[in-house]
Amino acid sequence: MNRPYIICHMVTSLDGKVTGDFLSTPECADACEIYYDINRNLKSNGFICGRVTMEGSFTGGYYPDLSRYEPVHHDMDLKMDFILDDMSGFYAVAFDPKGKLGWESNKIIDPDVDPGYNGAQIIEVLTEQVDARYLGYLKSMEIPYIFAGKTEIDVEFALFKLKNIIGCETLLLEGGSIVNGFFQRADAIDELSLIVAPVVAEKDDKPLFADSALSNFEIVNAKIENNVVVLNYLKKGERASNNNVVIKWEDALTLDEAIKSEKSE
């Protein structure tokens, strides 16, 4: 496989939504806790998020004054990606086609952020839509970037570069709905790790994939913990062709066992 193994790890509502106020309700707290716990324990080279999620979780809407930076003109016939000699081994990969994210450091450093993310080296995945001065800003901040597309990010090309230039073998895809949809349609999700909260979301909240194509998965694990269902699926046929299955729950119960044990308590 000439791209990293991709595990889409998400909290969902009972009706398959992944965005919205339900995520911050007390009824969703256990699901979020389990989500972060699994996130910390999955072996991967980092996580990928869409621009909106990165903004909401990490940059808080900060944006630099681009007039302070020299433009870096990129010629798409040349290799214009910017990679540091010394990169940390754990990456926060931002799918940010137009360069809208303002970072104040080249690593995720935020005491309020879950330790599973802290210290991750930021990588920007961009398209030709980006302002040349934004590249100057990223270089000045020592934030690596790769180009993958003209107007939309070509998921396959981005993943090819993340494997072959950066060396990523396994990455977590952690939302939101739009970026997940791009990956699903590119047939680039090998594994689903779904933490189902006992909550129904609201009408306008978005589903696991904002846009999707028909595809099949096989369930390989299910367990119930604190009223939350934890589900692990592999892309159909993946088990035979890929031995890079990362999740191994030592204490995992099958759904049948979990229901029996809940009943007997």
Ligand X SMILES: NC(=O)c1ccc[n+]([C@@H]2O[C@H](COP(=O)([O-])OP(=O)(O)OC[C@H]3O[C@@H](n4cnc5c(N)ncnc54)[C@H](OP(=O)(O)O)[C@@H]3O)[C@@H](O)[C@H]2O)c1
Total binding residues toward ligand X, as defined by CB under 6 A? 27
Binding segment toward ligand X, per CB under 6 A, in 15-23, 65-73, 83-91, 224-232: 15-23
* Cβ atoms of 45 and 170 closer than 8 Å: yes
Question: Could you give the count of Cα atoms lying within 13 Å of 27 in the half-sphere of its Cβ?
Answer: 11
Relative to beta strand 170-173, strand 145-147 is unpaired
Shortest Å distance, C-beta 111 to ligand X: 20
For position 197 contacting ligand X by CB under 6 A, the verdict is no
Contact positions with ligand X (CB under 6 A) in 81-140:
95, 97-98, 100
Confirm or reject binding of residue 23 to ligand X (CB under 6 A). Answer: yes
d(CA 118, CA 113) in angstroms, rounded, equals: 7
- Cis peptide, bond prior to residue 116, ω within 30 of zero: no
First CA to last CA distance, the chain: 45
**Any contact of residue 182 with ligand X (CB under 6 A)?**
yes
184 binds ligand X (CB under 6 A): no
3 binds ligand X (CB under 6 A): no
Q: Which is nearer to ligand X, 69 or 183 (CB)?
A: 183
Residue 19 bridge partners (DSSP): none
Residue 240 Cβ, how far from ligand X at the closest point, in Å? 29
Least distance (Å) between residue 260 CB and ligand X: 29
Element housing 241 (H / E): helix 238-241
CA 37/CA 46 separation, integer angstroms: 15
Short-list 7, 103, 21, CA closest to 61: 103
Q: Quick check: 206 binds ligand X (CB under 6 A)?
A: yes
Q: C-beta of 251: minimal distance to ligand X in Å?
A: 23
Q: d(Cα 156, Cα 41) in Å, to the nearest integer?
A: 26
Q: Which residue's Cβ has the minimum distance to ligand X?
A: 176
Residue 180 CB, shortest distance to ligand X, in Å, is: 7
Q: Using CB under 6 A as the criterion, which residues of the chain lie in contact with ligand X when the complex forms?
A: 10-11, 18-19, 23, 49-53, 56, 95, 97-98, 100, 152-153, 155, 174-179, 182, 206, 210
